[in-house]
Structure 1
Amino acid sequence: MQSIVKMNEELKIRLFYVLSITAIVANTIGFISNAIIYGFTSITIFTLVCAIIMYIAGIMGMYTKNSKLPSVIILVLGNIIEFPVLYLVYGTYYILYMILGIVSTVLFLEEKWQIIGSLFIFFYDGIVIYIKVMYPHLFAGIEINPNLIAILVTYFIAMISIVMMSIILMKHYHLQQDKLSELANQLQEMVHLDPLTHIYNRRYLVEYLNKKMKIESQEFAVVLLDIDDFKSINDKYGHIYGDQTLQAFSDSMKKNMDNKGIVTRFVGEEFMLVFDDINHEVIEDTLNKVAEEFALYENNQKELNYLLVVV
């Protein structure tokens, strides 16, 4: 659960990086192009101020790792102030920015606010467009007729913003998918592994045997092993030592069963080995090696008696 929460927080930060980087780059290009085409007019200074505010918001979000407020600042500044002002000054071509703003709201605003925020921006932009079309005389003093270069720059900024967002979002999407896949594998292992010995549990054993039995042409061997009088070990030396004994026994079986089949904890101190082949020599050799290694463990530890029971 903690891994999922962490991944969710990381995703929010990555999305904020996409938003802030795109906004900063687009506003920087807009400021430079305005300065070149129109000089340092009031609208050029306006785009510079917007770029600086977005830059500060971006740095704040990246530094604090809290993207909520900086995201709102960037989206509100762009959708409510900057894009409508640019439309009122330069005219129809800057509707592209308004559309881009709505898309950004859907992509980067928190889920519970996405629909409300995008609808609000949609109607807000609609009102601005209506006022501009119906009452053009109100803006006669600030209107600028953009030339071909300005129109192409507008198109370029909109397209580069979309391309940047798409590329970075896809990159983060694939990264997130890889992490989710890794997490799914870890969860699968948790379901199928015994937490103490880290070998397969009874649930996995049942699934594995069911698959084996469905393949008529495949032969396999099953061996049941038991540590004799294990209860007395726990009673005499304690459960911690008993757990260590189970772990040592499991490690020995895993090592000697490598590429021969699977090792499972059947129940308690009982273990089941499933051999993919019925070669009696291989099976006997494997069991003897396990017995020898566990005998060495016995000699190095407290006095133990064990019994391998083969079924």
Structure 2
Amino acid sequence: MQSIVKMNEELKIRLFYVLSITAIVANTIGFISNAIIYGFTSITIFTLVCAIIMYIAGIMGMYTKNSKLPSVIILVLGNIIEFPVLYLVYGAYYILYMILGIVSTVLFLEEKWQIIGSLFIFFYDGIVIYIKVMYPHLFAGIEINPNLIAILVTYFIAMISIVMMSIILMKHYRLQQDKLSELANQLQEVAHLDPLTHIYNRRYLVEYLNKKMKIESQKFAVVLLDIDDFKSINDQYGHIYGDQTLQTFSDSMKKNMDNKGIVTRFGGKEFMLVFDDINHEVIEDTLNKVAEEFALYGKQSKGIELSFSGGVEVFYQEDEIVKLFNRADHKLYYAKHTGKKKIVFDIDV
């Protein structure tokens, strides 16, 4: 949950980076082009002031990692002040900036304000356009007729802003998707692990066997294990030692099962091993090593004898998981009731 919250916060900051960088670059280009084409007029100074304010807002957001206020400053400055003023001064060609402003509002304003903000700017721009068209004499003193170069620069700034936003947004989108995919894999892995022993749980075991059973001509062996007299161990030495015993047993199985199959916690004090090889000697040798290490742990930790019993069953085609489990459980039951501390491969009738 914390990872998701962190990712959401990171996404907000990344979106702010896109907004601030695009705004700063576009305003800087606008100022330079105005200075070259028209000289240092009042409108050129105006674009410089807007660029400086946006630069300060961008630095503030990047430094504090809080993008709310800086985003609002940039969007309000652009949509409410700068773009309408440029339209009133230069005319219809600068409607491109107004459209760009509405798009930016939808992309970068917080979700709950997106519709209200974009509608407000839409009607606000509509009123500005209406006043400009219906009362042109009000702006006769400040109006400038842009030449071809100015029009092309306007088009260039609008297009480069759109391209920049698109490229950076797509880059961040792919990055976010990769992080979400990684998080999903981590969550899936956690869902498949037993929290105490950190080996696979029964849920994963069933999924794993279902996939394995679909492979044609697939043969494998399962071994159902049960720690002998585990209740007495818990009662005499406490649950902490009981948990340590389960963890030690799991670690030993994982070590000795390396590249041979998987280790799972079947439930409680029962475990199931899945061997890719059905060779009797491989299975027996692996279990003997686990038995030796487990017995050694019991002697060194509490001076007691620790052992386990088990039942081995081989899977053949057309078998079912439940039947496979039942046969292994039947052999385990036989081992527990005929002296314990043994692994049963076959039951003599």
Decide which structure has the larger Cα Rg and report it: 2
Per mean C-alpha deviation after superposition, the further-off stretch among 78-87 and 145-154 is 145-154
Tell me if structure 2 keeps the 8 A contact 1:193–1:201.
yes
Cα gap change, 1:310 to 1:61, in 2 (>3 Å): farther
Task: Look up the SS of the partner of 1:46 in the other structure.
Answer: helix
Shifted more, 225-234 versus 187-196: the winner is 225-234
Q: Mind listing any 5+ residue stretches in structure 1 that lack a counterpart?
A: 298-308
Please state how far the C-alpha of 1:254 moved relative to its aligned partner. 1.4
Q: Which moved more, 1:65-74 or 1:240-249?
A: 240-249
Instruction: Supply the distance in 1 between the matched residues of 2:212 and 2:348 (Cα, whole angstroms).
Output: 20
- CA distance in 2: counterparts of 1:115 and 1:258, whole angstroms: 57
2:104 maps to 1:66: no
Indicate conservation of the 8 Å contact 1:102/1:118, yes or no: yes
Q: TM-score, normalised by structure 1?
A: 0.92
> Larger deviation: 252-261 or 74-83?
252-261
CA distance in 2, matches of 1:97, 1:222: 69
Over residues 273-310 of structure 1, what are the superposed CA-to-partner deviations in whole Å (9 max), with x where a residue is unaligned? 0112312222112212222232333xxxxxxxxxxx99
* 3-state secondary structure, aligned to 2:197: coil
Q: 1:28 and 1:217 mapped to 2: Cα distance?
A: 69
Answer yes or no: is the 8 Å Cα contact 1:196–1:247 preserved in 2.
yes
Q: Is the 8 A contact 1:94 1:154 kept in 2?
A: yes
Query: How far did residue 5 of structure 1 move?
Result: 0.7
Cα drift, residue 215 of structure 1? 4.0
Aligned mates of 1:155, 1:310 — CA distance in 2:
89
The whole-number CA distance in structure 2 between the counterparts of 1:172 and 1:98 is: 25
Deviations 1:104-158 (A, max 9, x none): 1111011111111111111211121122122211111111111111111111111
Whether the 8 Å CA contact 1:24–1:51 is kept in 2: the answer is: yes
SS in 1 for 2:217: coil
Q: What residue is the counterpart of 1:193 in the other structure?
A: 193
The runs of 5 or more residues in structure 2 that have no matched partner are: 298-346
**Residue 252 of structure 1: how far off its partner (Å):** 1.6
2: CA distance, partners of 1:43 / 1:296: 86
Post-superposition shift, 1:241?
2.3
Which shifted more, 109-118 or 287-296? Answer: 287-296
User: Residues of 1 paired with 2:155 and 2:279: CA distance?
Assistant: 73
Question: Is the contact between residue 194 and residue 201 of structure 1 (CA under 8 Å) also seen in structure 2?
Answer: yes
Contact 1:225 1:310 in 2 (8 A): no
Q: What per-residue deviation string (whole Å, max 9, x for no partner) do you get for residues 43-68 of structure 1?
A: 11111111111111111111111111
Superposed displacement of residue 170, structure 1: 1.1
Cα pair 1:223 1:310 within 8 Å, conserved: no
Separation in 2 of the partners of 1:130 and 1:310?
98
What is the CA–CA distance in structure 2 between the aligned matches of 1:51 and 1:236, rounded to whole Å?
Answer: 76
- Which stretch shows the higher mean deviation, 122-131 or 64-73? 122-131
TM-score, L = length of structure 2:
0.82
Deviates more, 1:185-194 or 1:254-263: 254-263
- Indicate the residue corresponding to 2:313 in structure 1: none
Is the contact between residue 20 and residue 55 of structure 1 (CA under 8 Å) also seen in structure 2? yes
Q: Which moved more, 1:200-209 or 1:232-241?
A: 232-241
The farther-off stretch of 154-163 and 16-25 is 154-163
Checking the alignment, whether the CA contact within 8 Å between 1:19 and 1:71 is kept in structure 2 is yes
1:225 Cα shift? Answer: 1.3
Counterparts of 1:94 and 1:310 in 2: how far apart (Å)? 93
> 1:256 corresponds to which residue?
256
Structure ranking higher on relative contact order (CA contacts 8 Å, 6+ apart): 1
Give me the whole-angstrom Cα distance separating, in 2, the residues matched to 1:103 and 1:281. 70
The structural deviation recorded for 1:101 is 0.6
Q: 1:146 & 1:233 partners in 2: Cα distance? A: 91
Partner of 2:177: 177
Query: Structure 1 residues 110-119 or 228-237, which shifts more?
Result: 228-237
User: Is the contact between residue 24 and residue 55 of structure 1 (CA under 8 Å) also seen in structure 2?
Assistant: yes
